[in-house]
Structure 1
Amino acid sequence: MHARVAAATTTALLGGTVLILPTSSAHAAADDRGPAVVAHRGASAYAPENTLAAVDKADDLGFGWVENDVQRTKDGVLVVLHDATLTRTTNVEEVYPGRAPWKVADFTAREISRLDAGSWFAPRYAGARVPTLSQYMNRVSRNHQKLVLEIKNPELYPGIERQMLQVLSNEGWLDPGHLRSRLIVQSFRPDSVRKVHDLRPGVKTALLGTPSIADLPEYARFADQINPSYTSISVGYVAAVHAFRGPHGNPLEVLTWTVDDADTARRVARYDVDGVITNRPDVVRRALRGY
């Protein structure tokens, strides 16, 4: 692992004891030479985001970590989609013209399966579909990839944490091997992250955003990572996060997003981040060679 920067005035906290401990570092699981490189919504600069094509493109480029977003349909099926509406990344307005505002939660999984989720990106991806979480997990498993799963808008979908964990369990992703080094669950909502930890303490969890250092002792009780935008961090902030220990007894980690150019990638690497989430994983990997 790359060297940690010491923080002077923080206190380490330990959470509850669990039987299955995740590995101490996301980047160590991926590449001992530097921060992990996580393909944001798949390799989303090169294929339509959150589709199976984007997962496969990340695999083709040689990336083991992918990130996705999860929403829930009207009939309770978890689907992989970033937005709470279908308009930006599908042809929903053409297929269902009278159903504005086209919220995911207003459509059944069968209705969503009819939508084209690829043509907006490029003609060659016409016919790509919005995958269910089960379909997505099957593809990630087939590719032997690892996953950073984001629960989107949990306030819109009561109980989504328990349901998401059930899908992961059904797909074989809550066994010791996956929990140890292949799965991270994150959200912008602390209550959602806490709920995942409470329901399944062995799951590695992350809080998205840049909370104040004063709030880190509380978050360290249920989050293993603090994952901020690259625009909001400094070497001092990353060092302060690293000085705390999460619920599994390991130093809190930092995965920063969304870094798409070489100069920014090298800058955040100098901050000692543990991982970089990017739409252009190949660009970031080239920039980080030697870190």
Structure 2
Amino acid sequence: MTTRHPYFDNQGFPIALAHRGFSLEGLENSMRAFQAAVDLGYRYLETDAHGTQDGVAVALHDETLDRTTDATGEVSNRRWDSVKVARIGGIEPVPALEDVLGTWPDVKVNIDVKGVSAIEPVAKVIEKTKSHDRVCIGSFSADRRRKTLKLLSRPVASPAAQREAIGWLIGSVLGADPEITLGEVDALQIPWRNGRVKFLRRRQVESAHKVGRQIHVWTINDRDEMVELLDLGVDGIVSDRADILKEVLMERGQWA
């Protein structure tokens, strides 16, 4: 199977993505969590992005500070000076995306553009850090993804948005040409299941591979499910349990 972008070069091994870094203490998307994943040997991190009122890209999942920090309010309505003093879990500062990309220049980062506020700030950070070859820019919204990519001077990797992925899943059942249904994207990033209903079968993985697209599955924290998906031939797994995923890949001789 071919890949379209250097981001996917992982020595032929499945890509292990540390979901919001790695923390068993609720410190998601903190520099401590990202460092913990890197210390485990991870070469791929997953994070999210919003933009502040003054145009700083922030590595944070929610549009507000309420759930994960000791502060409140929407990130897009606050200036960076007031966001950076918020503490994740009351301990760790909210990081700027530039710090994530700049601290580990050899690590690749999957960035989910969570809101319109993040479009220009994310593009500016990628341009400033020249991270084009080591980022994957996705979003639940194809429009947000396209607008972000349009602002970049060089191509970056990008996965299908939610509606595009659903279209591909339906098309794969109906026998549609995957090249047409996948179009401009390099990969699919999809959930493994909805309750007991599994989205993936081997024929779907093979269909994507025939047209040079990767399949990454999120968010898998169960050892048996990791093994089942790797047996299906998926190209990447996003996990909160970076420790377990590493153990599984090492046992299989698939740890990069």
* TM-score between the two structures when normalised by the length of structure 2: 0.83
Matched, 1:202 2:160: no
* Structure-2 residue corresponding to 1:266: 227
Matched, 1:187 2:139: yes
- Measure the CA separation in 1 of the matches of 2:65 and 2:135: 27
SS in 2 for 1:205: coil
Q: Give the CA deviation at 1:47.
A: 6.0
* Match among 18, 33, 38 for residue 59 of structure 1: 38
- Measure the CA separation in 1 of the matches of 2:188 and 2:146: 13
Amino acid at match of 2:114: K
- Measure the CA separation in 2 of the matches of 1:197 and 1:221: 15
Query: How do residues 85-104 of structure 1 correspond to structure 2 at under 5 angstroms?
Result: 85-93=64-72, 102-104=73-75
CA contact (8 A) 1:227 1:257 kept: yes
* Structure-1 residue corresponding to 2:129: 171
Query: How do residues 57-136 of structure 1 correspond to structure 2 at under 5 angstroms?
Result: 57-93=36-72, 102-119=73-90, 126=91, 128-136=92-100
Q: Give the CA deviation at 1:217.
A: 4.1
- Measure the CA separation in 2 of the matches of 1:226 and 1:138: 27
Matched residue pairs, number? 235
Provide structure 1 residue ranges, at least 5 long, that are not aligned to the other structure: 5-20, 94-101, 120-125, 245-250
Q: Give the CA deviation at 1:42.
A: 0.8
For the aligned residue pairs, the C-alpha RMSD in angstroms reads: 2.2
Matched, 1:212 2:167: yes
Q: Percent same amino acid at aligned positions? A: 24
- Measure the CA separation in 1 of the matches of 2:11 and 2:89: 31
* TM-score between the two structures when normalised by the length of structure 1: 0.73
Greater fraction of residues in strand: 2
- Measure the CA separation in 2 of the matches of 1:203 and 1:64: 17
* Match among 122, 139, 146 for residue 103 of structure 2: 139
Q: Give the CA deviation at 1:140.
A: 2.5
- Measure the CA separation in 2 of the matches of 1:69 and 1:227: 14
Q: For residues 45 and 238 of structure 1, do their structure 2 counterparts lie closer, same or farther at Cα, with a shift above 3 Å needed? A: farther
Structure of greater relative contact order (alpha carbons < 8 Å, 6+ residues apart) = 1
